[in-house]
Amino acid sequence: MNPPPVPAPAPHPNPAADPSRDDTATQTCPVCQRLFTATGRRTYCRPACRKTAFRRRHQQPLTAIVVPAARPRREFTIYQCTTCEEHLFGEQRCPTCGTFARRLDIGGPCPHCDQPVALHDLLDQDLIPVLTNK
């Protein structure tokens, strides 16, 4: 009996025919999409593109900015009638004289007397720090 024939080994691909190993072939830079002639293991066309790719790979993910839903301010705004100087909570039109009132500030009802009180009436203006953007 004859031994079964041994299959011939698969031919090795010709490195010169493989475009990934061909140094004379042009490649596209993954950062700026320019064509360039790669030498060795070079992936990027210039050092600036290489550094940009590194920064993009290692940058912190951006945090999502959450904007709260819009709320009408009228429901917690204190108005003052220009005629009778009555303070109104959430009402723009004075019920006694029927004229439109001007907006004072945000506020709410006083916990002691249940009268409308603006926030600036409760706070001492000398103690409020002024924040500036630098």
Give the start-to-end residue ranges of the domains of the chain: 19-58, 74-122
Q: What is the mean pLDDT of residues 41-52?
A: 93
Token pair 């490649």 is found at 27
Read off the pLDDT of residues 62-109 as tens digits, 9 standing for 90 and up.
788 887 788 787 788 999 998 998 889 888 899 988 899 999 888 888
Q: For residue 21, what are its two tokens?
A: 């190993």
| Angle 64-129-80 from CA coordinates, rounded to 5° | 95
Contact assessment for residue 94 and residue 83, using Cβ atoms and an 8 Å cutoff:
yes
**pLDDT for position 23:** 60
pLDDT at 129 over 80: no
